[in-house]
Amino acid sequence: MNVADSEVVASILSPFYSITDSLKEAELILLNTCSVRDNAEQRIRKRLRELAALKKKNKSLLIGLLGCMAERIKEQLLEEEKSLDFIVGPDAYRSLPELIEKASLQIVSFNVALSEEETYDDIEPVRYASNGVSAFIAIMRGCNNFCSYCVVPFTRGRERSRDPKTIIAEAQSLFEKGFREVTLLGQNVNSYCWNETEKKIDFADLTEQIAQISPLLRIRYATSHPKDISDKLLFIMSKYPNICHYIHLPVQSGSNKMLKKMNRIYTREYYLERIKKIKEILPNCAISTDIIAGFCGETEQDHQDTLSMMKEVGYEYAFMFKYSVRGGTAAAEKYEDDIPEELKIKRLEEVIALQQHLSLQSNKRDIGKTVTVLIEGISKRSDQHLFGRNPQNKVCVFPKKEYKIGDYAEVKIIKCTAGTLLGETI
Ligand code: SF4
């Protein structure tokens, strides 16, 4: 979401500033922040200290902080981080020109007002960090789920969906500019809902309409909440080959006791039923997940339940973290963060080791198959090789030959590591 937000911010400021890669040349530096984990916030603090030194040399340089961290701890930040000139929350980016003007007059200010309506749907993002092939489209903002460990409903406000007409127009325009893949973004895309006068448009309807733009436009989406992923969506995915057979379905824990404390709304059994359905309707669908190790009160048995869940699903990929308390959340108020750090690390390492094994097994099963790869760039290891992704979101590397970035290539997989498929075009 932060990349998509930064592209909206770049668009709002495009009449006043152009983007530079050089810190020394910059007149304005904006840091877009995430508060989901403590170490993300610590990295921003470190960055602000580094930028303070730059500001001493360049007195007219302005530094602003955007995003969730701005929302969560604005007073504390303004008090402690003297290099900051202004702070803007995720729903207040339209006020940036005004805040920058005040900052240039040395008036330190902030706007962290949350909105029930803001979706920035009339703003065409500036794709400054894009490879020209893949782009993000934010289809909704905020979240209503209140998982007990998560700050997002407090920093990004309540869930609201964007007008589908503007989303489809954005996807169409990206396709016409040469983009070949769009990722539809939201905290919980499966609860996307837009009420037209006569009919309701849900996420499955929206995805279908985007899929009809062109068979050459690939569609991905993130993130799905297990409680909301519908059979209707799975059937639409099976109907359109350009909707990638890949679903990111965060499980967080395999223990019902932990899921209840996390306020995830589903049980292990319900989650496994959804996985069964996905595999039934989309037999070649890759599934990835998020896992938190060492949540409050997690016993060895709870941890083992997570490991057994991972094996049962056979995830292709996982984002894995150890729990860190986020102030203001229900978990911070109600539960003791009682798992010792060394034990959290040990459990996280076990989760990571298992996932490495599962990813490698999954990739090995692809050897000998031919997959369609959308080419995204030149391999970091060799300029004679290209890389891209197959529909299952696996990175594939293969010899360049006559192909170019943005082409589709049929690649036969001949080797793999846990993270990459290696092949030859056919
Ligand atoms: S679904 Fe839960 S974890 Fe995801 S953003 Fe919403 S509250 Fe946070």
3-class SS letters over the chain: CHHHHHHHHHHHHCCCCCCCCCCCCCCEEEEEECCCCHHHHHHHHHHHHHHHHHHHHCCCCEEEEEEHHHHHCHHHHHHHCCCCCEEECCCCHHHHHHHHHHHHCCCCEEECCCCCCCCCCCCCCCCCCCCCCEEEEECEECCCCCCCCCCHHHHCCCCEECCHHHHHHHHHHHHHCCCCEEEEECCCHHHCEEECCCCEEEHHHHHHHHHCCCCCCEEEEECCCCCCCCHHHHHHHHHCCCECCEEECCCECCCHHHHHHCCCCCCHHHHHHHHHHHHHHCCCCEEEEEEEECCCCCCHHHHHHHHHHHHHHCCCEEEEEECCCCCCCHHHHHCCCCCCHHHHHHHHHHHHHHHHHHHHHHHHHHCCCEEEEEEEEECCCCCCEEEEECCCCCEEEEECCCCCCCCEEEEEEEEECCCEEEEEEC
Q: Does position 30 have pLDDT exceeding 90, yes or no?
A: yes
Distance 212 CA to ligand 1 centre (A): 30
Distance 292 CA to ligand 1 centre (A): 13
User: Which pTM was predicted?
Assistant: 0.93
Confidence of residue 129 (pLDDT cuts 50, 70, 90): confident
How crowded is residue 206: how many other Cβ atoms within 10 Å of its Cβ? 27
Distance 366 CA to ligand 1 centre (A): 32
Q: Does position 314 have pLDDT exceeding 90, yes or no?
A: yes
Calculate mean pLDDT across residues 28-33: 94
Question: Ligand 1 pocket check: which of 187, 265, 319, 326 to mutate, most ligand atoms within 8 Å of Cβ?
Answer: 187
The CATH architecture annotation of domain 248-365 reads: 2-Layer Sandwich (3.30)
pLDDT the model gives residue 59: 86
Does the Cβ of 143 fall within 6 Å of ligand 1? yes
Question: Ligand 1 pocket check: which of 37, 143, 146, 292 to mutate, most ligand atoms within 8 Å of Cβ?
Answer: 143
pLDDT the model gives residue 179: 97
Class of domain 370-425: mainly beta
Does the Cβ of 225 fall within 6 Å of ligand 1? yes
pLDDT the model gives residue 189: 97
Q: Does position 308 have pLDDT exceeding 80, yes or no?
A: yes
Atom of ligand 1 nearest to the CA of 143: 6
Q: Looking at ligand 1, which residue's alpha carbon is closest to its atom 4?
A: 187
What kind of fold does domain 130-244 have according to CATH?
A: Transcription Regulator spoIIAA (3.30.750)
pLDDT the model gives residue 69: 87
Q: Looking at ligand 1, which residue's alpha carbon is closest to its atom 1?
A: 145
Confidence of residue 40 (pLDDT cuts 50, 70, 90): confident
Q: Does position 175 have pLDDT exceeding 80, yes or no?
A: yes
Token readout for 373 is: 């790869």
pLDDT the model gives residue 378: 96
Distance 152 CA to ligand 1 centre (A): 6
Does the Cβ of 220 fall within 6 Å of ligand 1? no
Calculate mean pLDDT across residues 173-195: 96
Query: In CATH terms, are 130-244 and 248-365 the same topology?
Result: yes
Distance 259 CA to ligand 1 centre (A): 13
pLDDT the model gives residue 323: 97
Greater pLDDT, 263 or 55: 263
Q: Express as a percent the part of the chain with pLDDT over 90.
A: 83
Class of domain 2-111: alpha beta
Calculate mean pLDDT across residues 143-166: 95
Does the Cβ of 263 fall within 6 Å of ligand 1? no
Q: Does position 317 have pLDDT exceeding 90, yes or no?
A: yes
pLDDT the model gives residue 325: 94
Question: Ligand 1 pocket check: which of 144, 145, 223, 329 to mutate, most ligand atoms within 8 Å of Cβ?
Answer: 145
Q: Does position 310 have pLDDT exceeding 90, yes or no?
A: yes
Q: Does position 198 have pLDDT exceeding 80, yes or no?
A: no
Calculate mean pLDDT across residues 330-341: 97
Domain boundaries, given as residue ranges, for the chain:
2-111, 130-244, 248-365, 370-425
Calculate mean pLDDT across residues 249-273: 98
Confidence of residue 80 (pLDDT cuts 50, 70, 90): confident
Confidence of residue 182 (pLDDT cuts 50, 70, 90): very high
Q: Does position 386 have pLDDT exceeding 80, yes or no?
A: yes
pLDDT digits (tens, 9 = 90+) for 404-423: 999 999 999 999 999 999 99
Arithmetic mean of pLDDT over the chain: 95
